Chain A
């Protein structure tokens, strides 16, 4: 058996309360590495066409990777996947913390939750042995309450993931929370977990994870930890984490403001890293083996009320701060704490509430319809609406189906400023005049998310108006960044601290005994990218170019203010960008991988499922 892994696929059938283990195919390790790679590969086999995202036939998949839990900086990532109730297509998300190593030490490289329990349960996994606890009494509890309860019942050595009331009440952007503030936030993986009546998963593992060469793994880890802490970028990022981006994003006019009406907000300085450190942060809170860490723990404050919470990180500051017209970092932290305890993805929650505020201010929705005036800058109104969303009350029930569904429900042209791609709410970059970043959003395999390709700095460095080289850069990023998700570690030692990403090649042989070049690792990423595209082809009727469209706001209006005020690209220009991208990827003009491309990548098995 190839070392560096837990060893098994653990399948838990919630309907019959049966668990079974089988070895991970060795070929998967070579072709997909782990983490996101295993998720995509298993997704194809496990989740069939015609599946209802909230039906028992959908599955929640979770996978660490070979680098998970290793003594190398920032190795705490767990990748999760499911058919997304937000988009109807391929969905995944990942979270940090300490759950992933624990799962691997329990002997698990891929956890499959399938079927659905009749009544709420907590799934307890101890070294691969599965038991179930009745969770009926706390099904609607907040995430913090349930994690606290289970830590008390099971003991602090257990690692626990939970869902909150948002998931229990069918909000399509509900997240899974772990370690009081680490979220698998996007695409509604928490909603799918709730559809299986699983309130929590607790895991404890005591086994060694076998290593090909432990001494050289240690030596490589020592060198890497040492290098990370000596990077110039480490010194800049370490004190603040991702809020370090706020002043830069604002100065470039790419920080979403008042539902993406513009890209800079007056008073953005009150949301930056030093302000957060002074007013919110109490301690650093790290994932497994993280030398940086970006996680900051502290208190949010709103009108004298306090809320302990982790963060906020940049995306939450953008979506719960500037995008709601709020520039008080303590209030943003409070909103972040509310989202976390309710189990709402702070990105989607901030996005849909911003849309409701614009609807109110422009007269599309009334105070009566919304339950209260929804004005930009009103943090109390946002808190109340987050609760309405999570508990399915009033207009909150509509917003809880996502901004695409809400805008379709309201109509009246509000679709024009519903800021999503493929049904997933756009995250923290106002990208209408940043072609590489816009292309990143349009082609991201889960919908409007930044994580697969964070290309906005490239736009600034090479010219906002310039299209040349942008598609190439996006494709490169879409292979490099998700590679970390397949390996099971965090990319911030590269992205934040400035470590050479190619240096990660050096761990694969000591850990697993497998040999890869950098280009071979990128080929794995390309394989996974094409596979996830085919998964959405298989599940979404008519999938193709039409699903890579920007929201109308981005091609019809210029930003109100900022360095690129008044500017936007046209639909024809965006089509040109997509044409360039599809051609470079070897896809058809409709954005579908060709049979030849699939064969080249060893994906011949999905060629027949090309979009109908």
Chain B
């Protein structure tokens, strides 16, 4: 499973943000999603999406090795080892690690659960490995 992006297809519906937060945090709260849709209106009249490509920069800069890669290729934060320094948030090249008051010092990060790809109605988010079928 590899999260990929075709931003020209994005309609800005943010179903990805909703399902991400609901699946990972059992919350109706797109502020807890690990990706973001950005609208650029009235000009140029387009959406862009910030997603995690599991580049591993967060793990490289983490001073406590709190971020480890699992067997599916996702870098996951071990909350017990995280000291809340936020260096990973600052250094994330895509800007997709987020802080939320409810989660204390531990950032929110993509777990590669696949829900955003599964439910993106337009195929703007898709699985580059083809494991998850694209909607259209």
Q: What is the CB-to-nearest-CB distance from A544 to chain B, in angstroms, rounded to a whole number?
A: 44
Q: Is the C-beta of B4 less than 8 angstroms from some C-beta in chain A? A: no
Report the interface size for chain B: residues with CB under 8 A from the other chain.
Answer: 34
Closest residue of chain B to A207, judged by CB?
A: B29
Kindly identify, within residues 411 to 435 of chain A, every residue whose CB is under 8 Å from any CB belonging to chain B. none
- 0 or 1 for each of B108-121: is its CB under 8 Å from A? (1 = yes): 00000000000101
- B47 CB, nearest partner CB in chain A, Å: 7
Interface 0/1 of B1-43, CB less than 8 Å to A: 0000000101111110011001100111111100000110111
Bound Cα distance A511, B46 (Å):
33
* Residue contact B42 to A308, C-beta cutoff 8 Å: yes
Is B101 an interface position by the 8 A CB rule?
yes
A283 touches B121 (CB 8 A): no
How far, in whole Å, are A289 and B116 apart by their CA atoms in the complex? 12
In-complex Cβ contact of A214 among B10, B13, B22 (8 A): B22
- Contacting residue for A229 out of B31, B32, B101, B121, CB 8 A: B121
Contact present for B19 and A221 (CB under 8 Å): yes
A309 to B30, CA, bound (A): 27
Q: Which residue of B lies closest to A69 (CB)?
A: B28
CB pair B11 A289 closer than 8 Å: no
CB of B129 within 8 Å of the partner chain: no
Pair A284/B122 contact, Cβ less than 8 Å? yes
Q: With A and B bound together, what is the CA distance between A209 and B25 in angstroms? A: 12
> Interface with B: A29-37, A290-298, A359-367, which one?
A290-298
In the assembled complex, the Cα of A286 lies from the Cα of B30 at a distance in Å of 16
Q: How far is the CA of A208 from the CA of B33 in the complex (A)?
A: 12
Residue A287 lies at the interface, judged by CB distance under 8 Å to chain B: yes
Residues of A within 8 A of B71 (CB): none
Name A282's contact: one of B22, B45, B122, B136 (CB within 8 Å).
Answer: B45
Bound-state Cα–Cα, A211 to B43, Å: 37
The reply to whether the CB of A399 lies closer than 8 angstroms to some CB of chain B is: no
A101 interface contact, C-beta 8 A? yes
A23 to B134, CA, bound (A): 43
Interface bits A347-386 vs B (CB < 8 Å: 1, else 0): 0000000000000000000000000000000000000000
Bound CA–CA A282/B32 (angstroms): 30
B19 touches A218 (CB 8 A): yes
Across the interface, do B102 and A288 meet the contact criterion of CB distance under 8 Å? no
The 8 A CB mask of A491-517 against B (1 = contact, 0 = none) is 000000000000000000000000000
Contact code string B124-136 (vs A, CB < 8 Å = 1, else 0): 0000000000011
On whether A105 and B11 interact (CB within 8 A), knowing A215-B26, A282-B45, the answer reads no
* Inter-chain contacts of A222 with B (CB < 8 A): 19, 119
Chain B CB within 10 Å, residue with most, of A105, A218, A282: A218
Question: Cβ of B136: which chain A residues have Cβ within 8 Å of it?
Answer: 229
Cβ of B101 and Cβ of A71 under 8 Å apart?
Answer: no
Contact of A105 among B10, B31, B41, B46 (CB under 8 A): B31
Enumerate chain A residues within 8 angstroms of B26, measured Cβ to Cβ.
211, 214-215, 218
In the assembled complex, which residues on chain A have CB atoms less than 8 Å from the CB atom of B31? 105, 206
Asked if residues B45 and A291 are in contact (CB atoms below 8 Å), the reply is no
Assembly CA distance A209 to B41 (angstroms): 28
A73 to B22, CA, bound (A): 15
A526 within 8 A of B: no
Known: A214-B22, A297-B45. A70 touches B28 (CB 8 A): yes
Q: Does A260 contact B (CB under 8 A)?
A: no
Q: Per a CB cutoff under 8 Å, which of B23, B42, B100 touches A144? A: B42
The answer to whether A291 and B13 touch across the interface, beta carbons within 8 angstroms, is: yes
> In the complex, how many angstroms separate the beta carbon of A61 from the nearest chain B beta carbon?
23
Closest Cβ of chain A: how far from B48's Cβ, in Å? Answer: 11
Q: Is the CB of A289 within 8 A of B29?
A: no
Q: Are B15 and A285 in contact (CB under 8 A)?
A: no
Which of A98, A156, A282, A309 contacts B14 (CB under 8 A)? A98
- Known interface pairs A179-B39, A284-B122; A289-B14 also in contact (CB < 8 Å): yes
Q: How far is the CB of A387 from chain B (nearest CB, A)?
A: 19
Contacts of A284 in B (CB 8 A): 11, 122
Q: Are B30 and A101 in touch, CB under 8 angstroms?
A: yes
Shortest Cβ distance from A305 into chain B, in angstroms? 15
Is B135 in contact with A308, judged by CB distance below 8 angstroms?
no
Q: Residue A51 at the B interface, CB < 8 A?
A: no
Closest-by-CB residue of A relative to B14 is A288
Query: From A340, which residue of chain B is reached at the shortest CB distance?
Result: B42
A225 at the interface (CB under 8 A from B): yes
Q: Is the CB of B18 within 8 A of A286?
A: no
Interface: A136 (CB within 8 A): no
B29 partner residues in chain A, CB cutoff 8 A = 105, 206-209
Closest to B120 in A: A291
A440 within 8 A of B: no
User: A207 — which chain B residues lie within 8 A by C-beta?
Assistant: 29
Top-6 shortest CB links A-B = A286-B13, A284-B11, A214-B26, A291-B121, A286-B11, A180-B41
Other than A290-B13, A308-B41, give 8 A-B pairs with Cβ distance below 8 A: A71-B119, A208-B29, A214-B27, A217-B28, A225-B15, A229-B121, A229-B135, A285-B11
Please name 8 pairs of A and B residues whose Cβ atoms are closer than 8 Å in the assembled complex, sorted by A.
Answer: A73-B15, A179-B39, A207-B29, A208-B29, A208-B32, A209-B29, A283-B46, A308-B41
Interface residues of B (CB under 8 A from A): 8, 10-15, 18-19, 22-23, 26-32, 38-39, 41-43, 45-47, 100-102, 119, 121-122, 135-136
